Structure 1
Amino acid sequence: MTTRWQRIAVAGAGEDYATRYYEGFRARAERGEDIHGEAAFVADLVPAPARVLDAGCGTGRITVRLAELGYDVVGVDVDTTMLAVARREHPGLDWRDGDLASFELGETFDLVLLAGNIIPLLEPGTLLDVAQRLAEHVASGGVVVCGFGLDAEHLPGDCPVTDLADVDAAFGVHGLDAVARYASWDGDAFEPGGGYAVTLYAEPRR
């Protein structure tokens, strides 16, 4: 099955989209750009060597950085083409094949990270299943961190907009509340109507 992400990626970059994606970020880093905002955000939340699941890890940019910072990190993705690049470039890390709507790793994590528009790129009708699988992979007291675009300007190709309220509701069904929300991985204050949101989902305080 071709996923929504693969269709958009191939339309934009061709069949070698995974390599182009990886090389694009490497080029930015070589120009001196900071490409590690998500990992820095994680580091501000939980100290290493916490266990982190990079859900929808792609070619592994964030997984690699978290490992460099001392985290016990696993990267999982349904896109085997992207994972092949991750495994080729960083063979020593823990890469897993898995559809976020059905995966089961048999372990839990202190923090589950979804970056790079994972939520709006999900297949139609799978949001509740994804929320359940993610909730079941979070350790007691842990957190899901989810960042994605809220308008066309912050989304790739013809990716549809996903309503934040729908995402909050999906996690809420599985016992995780939205406990904090930011406008960027730099921690900027979120304002309704903004184009991007980073939300922390956790068990409600009793």
Structure 2
Amino acid sequence: MPNEQTAAYYDRPDVVETWYEARERGLREAERRAIEAYFDPDGRVLDIGCGAGRTSTVLAAAGFDIVGLDISRPMLRLAAEEDPAVTYVAGDAAALPFPGESFGNVLFSHCGLDELKPESARGEALREAFRVVEPGGRFAFSSHNLLRRLLPLPPTRNWLGKMAAFWRRNYREGRIGSAYLSITEDAPLHMTDPLSLVRSVRAAGFDVLDIVGSGTPGSTLFGTSTFVVGEKPMLPR
């Protein structure tokens, strides 16, 4: 069953409108790089956390056979109106409504994994992605990078100010020491460092193929998010 708190947030009209407007942005640079380098163009794609179709639209236009999944029915209705060729399904990332080995590629749209609560749901979602992808198939996703909030790189006045505001906010909210931290005044999001993220991907059964950056120096390990590409082994471990 979808996380009720997360579903309620993404069903809000203002949030739906924001995500609908985000359709115009298309793929983020790391998403584009990962898809071009690692996704099988003939493989069926599951786009988890597709929202109003920002990523699904681009993938469908590129010729992928794609299924978009999200917990927000209002967002899915908007996406379906814009993209009638895409199959949109309402569902929970931690309990995917698909048979095993149904997809050649799985994408979890930008940091959507970090919305899941409690923390155990993240592990369930990773295991579900592993279950539904074919042997040899690829799983690509991003997660908020805690290192970016600990290391001032670059040490500019602007970034130091943002870091200070971030930690003041979380101190006031009593979140210091928690895995869920607030970037804005909205719902807190899970944050972890790249090494711990890689460990969790391997624990779900994937081989880690790459950590994809945006192309700027240091973005692989010190970007605002960590973008990981995993592969399901051809043979069981």
1:94 is matched by which residue type in structure 2? T
Distance, in Å, in 1 between the alignment partners of 2:41 and 2:136 is 16
1:4 paired residue number:
6
2:64 is aligned with 1:35: no
Distance, in Å, in 2 between the alignment partners of 1:204 and 1:137 is 13
2:130 is aligned with 1:135: yes
2:144 paired residue number:
149
CA gap 1:55/1:193 in 2 versus in 1, 3 angstroms: same
Deviates more, 1:89-98 or 1:166-175: 166-175
- Match runs of 1:1-206 below 5 Å: 2-4=4-6, 6-7=8-9, 15-22=13-20, 24-26=21-23, 29=24, 35-37=26-28, 38-39=31-32, 41-106=34-99, 107-124=101-118, 125-151=120-146, 157-163=186-192, 164-184=194-214, 186=215, 190-203=219-232
**Which segments of 5 or more consecutive residues in structure 1 lack a partner in the other structure?**
none
Query: What TM-score do you get using the length of structure 2 for normalisation?
Result: 0.69
Q: Are the aligned partners of 2:43 and 2:104 in contact in 1 as well (CA < 8 Å)?
A: yes
How far apart are residue 60 of structure 1 and its match? 0.9
Deviations 1:24-70 (A, max 9, x none): 235xx4xxxx6333346413323523211101111111111111111
How far apart are residue 110 of structure 1 and its match? 1.5
**Which segments of 5 or more consecutive residues in structure 2 lack a partner in the other structure?**
150-161, 163-181
Distance, in Å, in 2 between the alignment partners of 1:116 and 1:6 is 19
Q: Are the aligned partners of 1:113 and 1:145 in contact in 2 as well (CA < 8 Å)?
A: yes
CA gap 1:193/1:68 in 2 versus in 1, 3 angstroms: closer
CA gap 1:193/1:45 in 2 versus in 1, 3 angstroms: closer
Distance, in Å, in 2 between the alignment partners of 1:161 and 1:102 is 19
How far apart are residue 101 of structure 1 and its match? 0.7
Rg (Cα) greater in structure: 2
1:44 is matched by which residue type in structure 2? A
Query: Secondary structure of 1:42's partner?
Result: helix
Q: Are the aligned partners of 1:54 and 1:114 in contact in 2 as well (CA < 8 Å)?
A: yes
Q: Which runs of 4+ in 1 moved over 4 A?
A: 151-156, 186-191
Deviations 1:85-111 (A, max 9, x none): 112222331111110111131252121
Deviations 1:98-126 (A, max 9, x none): 10111131252121101221121112130
Richer in helix (by share): 2
2:129 is matched by which residue type in structure 1? L
The alignment yields a C-alpha RMSD, in angstroms, of 2.9
